[in-house]
Structure 1
Amino acid sequence: MYEHILFPTDGSSGAEAALAHARTLAETHNATLHIMTVLDTSSPHIGMTAAGPEGATTGMTAEEHDESESGMVNEEHNIESSLRERSQAIVDAAADEVDGVDTVTAVEHGPPHSAILDYVDENDIDLIVMGTHGRTGVERYLLGSVAEKVVRTSDVPVLTVRLGEDDS
């Protein structure tokens, strides 16, 4: 039924909760599990907050920074290089968690929901399994929801896994 399952991750607890579901589905259907993160490049003032695979988040939940503050091209390049390394560490850590499952890792760039949907189209993905932070009210309105945008616009089924109180 499923040959290619996509697990987009930002390295957060919510994403980790969804990884178990993605792994089970990949094992059950003998599917390839595509693990990706997105470096949000939708604004020149957006970077990612990834601090590594120990529960940090990537560009899928971006944090503002002012590139003009550095005044040095090399420093900006070092920041971008560091962000790419952290993004790769996040997908590599997730891939290590699903040992025994055929995996593909990717770090994509752009607005997160668009990058996810582009990846789906380019890689014949049959199912998306992603975590959701379960934000509500003003926080959801101000921060938006990548999962919600993907659910509303995806042409393939999307399984969302909400971070439970026990998972935080």
Structure 2
Amino acid sequence: MYDAVLVPTDGSEAAIHAANHAYSLGERYDATVHVLTVVEKSESTTIVGQGDEKLETLRDEGNDSTQRIVEEALSRDIHAVGTVEMGDPARTILTYAEDHDIDLIVMSTHGRSGVGRFLMGSVTERVLRDGDVPVLAVQR
């Protein structure tokens, strides 16, 4: 049923919780688990003299969180690959899913509602709304 499962991660505990669901699917369906961290280039990372350094720090943190999930999958004998990309998180997740023939996206939601969700936006909600790939939204 699933050959390729994508787990976007931001390094949070909620993302680790979602990864556990992806591991189960990887084991059950012998699927490859793709782990993706998206480093968002925002105004806060483009401060003169600090932008490149800040982006490099975010990229390093993304590599670390991606690698932890990939290593856990591999320790369970699940085929896994990881990558870090830059861009708009929802758009990058959807593009990755399309480019890699992803069958299911497993991602966390922080459970925000009301004003918090309106102000912060929701990457998960945008992926659900704008994508063609089924999404398993895991609330922690």
Give the Cα–Cα distance (whole angstroms) in 1 for the partners of residues 115 and 25 of structure 2. 34
**What does residue range 26-105 of structure 1 map to in structure 2 within 5 Å?**
26-41=26-41, 43=42, 45-47=43-45, 67-68=47-48, 72=49, 75-98=50-73, 99=75, 100-105=77-82
Is 1:144 the counterpart of 2:121? The answer is yes
8 Å CA contact 1:6, 1:128 repeated in 2: yes
Give the Cα–Cα distance (whole angstroms) in 2 for the partners of residues 82 and 14 of structure 1. 21
| Aligned-pair CA distance for 1:33 | 0.3
Q: Percent identity?
A: 42
Taking structure 1 as reference, are residues 126 and 104 closer, same or farther at Cα in structure 2, changes over 3 Å only? same
Is 1:126 the counterpart of 2:103? The answer is yes
Residue 139 (structure 2) aligns with:
162
Aligned positions, number: 138
- Measured against aligned partners, the alpha-carbon deviations of 1:20-45 in whole angstroms (never above 9, x if no partner) come to 1100001100010000110012x4x0
TM-score normalised over the length of structure 1: 0.78
Give the Cα–Cα distance (whole angstroms) in 2 for the partners of residues 26 and 83 of structure 1. 28
TM-score normalised over the length of structure 2: 0.93
**Structure 1 gaps, min length 5:** 48-65, 164-168
Residue type of the partner of 1:112?
P
Q: Structure 1 runs of 4+ off > 6 angstroms?
A: none
Q: CA RMSD in A?
A: 1.3
